[in-house]
Structure 1
């Protein structure tokens, strides 16, 4: 049976798991805003003023000043005409793809077969043909576009922006080129890219310096921004279509605490680019240290290192040895991890070099012990 890990208290660089304090290198709270005093204060004050939620859909009387404000704040952050806020990041792919379909922007969906579960489910809710292409394989995508598109038909190319398990960025430059060639569009789930990538933290598109009216995205506030809820930024006509769609009209309004903390998280990330710079520096330092103990990893600013030293049994032993030393990393068995799973380390902007050194020292010892 898979072990169950229960968090007791705030998650941070040190976190209590199953009653024991660990040096913590897991999760997705890249700036640790999920325990930031200003976000907690904003959530508390909003709950005291507005209650838990409006207990109805925004299509009826479920709007509040907080919900209007967070959408304005998100549009400003992403420098778009408008933005919409949804109860969860999971819903953004469903709402976004349905809106693009209603606006008649595509005829067939071409989806990376390693895409997040929510993107796969979103694609299946649209009454259009769905074709999977091999993970990040532009040649396979090109072949399938040629094979399946009839003259005049337009593709929607859909993918994660930053794939979180192995820290891989989708080849979006080629996707946009193909979308231009076929009069199509590109949609990405950028849950892990927003906040941490790009000069202004606007995500994978900004990181790759891509701009086009053919590019669309959905994201979440539950990772880099330390809050909760889904965000879709974009042109006013597209956002209005989402507001009139079934996801928006059929779901209850988000909790006020989530909206208030999301506003504050967006503000902090926007006003403090040095957090992003520290995260990038920590990522590069971690990867330098990982290479020093024999683990090959790319020299980039992505704050994730994933590796598979041996089979499941070996990785289980390494993971357990680290836990015995008070260090927690993730032993992931998730989409994209492979059949045996994968060991995965996430570094935060708040980790110190001393903590990173301790991690790699303990990891190096464990690997020498269990890998011949």
Structure 2
């Protein structure tokens, strides 16, 4: 097992070995790390719900009624009434006929992709910048994976043309919002192409739920494509502030996944505290869109001011704000100096992003105040100038 120590050392020499910090406080706009309070621009807590009192109260109440663990897989004895209620509510929220709940967003991709296209004659069309969970789910299928250049509809059309006569099932899978760059999939064009070539469509809306669409209903709602996307895949660990994964679509699709998808058949159901917290998060999202609007106001302000300072924020169209630095070592130094100045923003480098595009990814939240944003901009500016990233 000596290869592990060698590879860890090689990561350190290449500047790819990361520091994993431990929070000593609940998730929030400010967090305590190593005895100090720092502004948090790292988490996916888009709407500030991770530590929301209504979620905590719902969990406390439901634990007294339902307990903690499900005790079994969904298909044996692990389906409790709250699981069914959350699935019904999620389907309604997404504007779909039905939804199936699984343990995480990663598991949702593992549940959908190998189940719909399992065979050697099947084809998967996958965006070149799709998330690792999509890539791993594709690997679990025996289908041939055809990568098309990122959001390049001409390249996608060429590859669909080249495989028009292929036998077997065909599925296109794309992220809705690409997590490292913050750009949005060209879903209307994708849907049209897939309809023309008789290809199933699936979108992983992990960073779109709670962010895009009316009141955060996601990318399908954002583009008004209800009923035209075969599968919506999502996570409840970001804007919802909890844990869990979901796949939504037709009643037939959900029934098929319920009886075929391995994460549903061979892994215990989501815990009851998670289910309770997600129900409370849905209540908040369905009441009004104030948190979603605040998220976008904060994101637009931060991105605009950082651009004015001269930072390269890439092609983001969402509150995700990448500051592209280049080399991994430079990005890690930038992150370390930000932390010393009181701002927590982790460096992201290869293999999460391509070599030469290491960055700081600033993740804004509806929980951030105007003063928080002012502090963030001033800190980025001071450290950026000191390191020669901006003038």
Same structural fold, with TM-score higher than 0.5 when normalized by the shorter chain: yes
Q: Which residue of 1 aligns with 2:267?
A: 251
| 2-structure distance, mates of 1:151, 1:325 | 57
8 Å CA contact 1:155–1:179 kept in 2: the answer is no
Relative to structure 1, is the Cα distance of residues 12 and 151 closer, same or farther in structure 2, using a 3 angstrom cutoff?
closer
Q: Which residue of 2 aligns with 1:272?
A: 288
Relative to structure 1, is the Cα distance of residues 122 and 309 closer, same or farther in structure 2, using a 3 angstrom cutoff?
closer
Give 1:225 shift: 0.7
| 2-structure distance, mates of 1:125, 1:65 | 31
Gaps spanning 5+ residues in structure 1: where? none
1:23 is the counterpart of 2:33: no
1:363 is the counterpart of 2:389: no
1:240 is the counterpart of 2:247: no
8 Å CA contact 2:123–2:168 kept in 1: the answer is yes
CA displacement 1:162-218 (0-9 Å, x = unmatched): 011110111212211210110112111111111111123121122223234343211
TM-score (norm 1): 0.93
8 Å CA contact 2:55–2:280 kept in 1: the answer is yes
Relative to structure 1, is the Cα distance of residues 299 and 62 closer, same or farther in structure 2, using a 3 angstrom cutoff?
closer
Question: Among 157, 167, 172, which residue is 2:172 paired with?
Answer: 157
Gaps spanning 5+ residues in structure 2: where? 1-16
Question: Among 190, 194, 212, which residue is 1:175 paired with?
Answer: 190
TM-score (norm 2): 0.88
| 1-structure distance, mates of 2:303, 2:41 | 13
| 2-structure distance, mates of 1:299, 1:250 | 40
Q: Which residue of 2 aligns with 1:140?
A: 155
Give 1:19 shift: 3.0
Relative to structure 1, is the Cα distance of residues 247 and 214 closer, same or farther in structure 2, using a 3 angstrom cutoff?
same
Relative to structure 1, is the Cα distance of residues 334 and 164 closer, same or farther in structure 2, using a 3 angstrom cutoff?
farther
Aligned residue pairs, count: 370
| 1-structure distance, mates of 2:67, 2:354 | 44
Relative to structure 1, is the Cα distance of residues 11 and 243 closer, same or farther in structure 2, using a 3 angstrom cutoff?
same
CA displacement 1:275-309 (0-9 Å, x = unmatched): 11111111111122112211244797611110223
Relative to structure 1, is the Cα distance of residues 2 and 125 closer, same or farther in structure 2, using a 3 angstrom cutoff?
closer
CA displacement 1:91-120 (0-9 Å, x = unmatched): 111212244348x9x941111122111111
1:217 is the counterpart of 2:232: yes
| 1-structure distance, mates of 2:312, 2:144 | 40
8 Å CA contact 1:162–1:190 kept in 2: the answer is yes
* 2:111 partner SS: helix
1:109 is the counterpart of 2:124: yes
Q: Which residue of 1 aligns with 2:68?
A: 52
| 2-structure distance, mates of 1:36, 1:248 | 29
| 2-structure distance, mates of 1:45, 1:101 | 41
| 2-structure distance, mates of 1:350, 1:301 | 20
Give 1:55 shift: 1.3
Q: Which residue of 2 aligns with 1:353?
A: 370
| 1-structure distance, mates of 2:182, 2:246 | 22
Relative to structure 1, is the Cα distance of residues 295 and 271 closer, same or farther in structure 2, using a 3 angstrom cutoff?
same
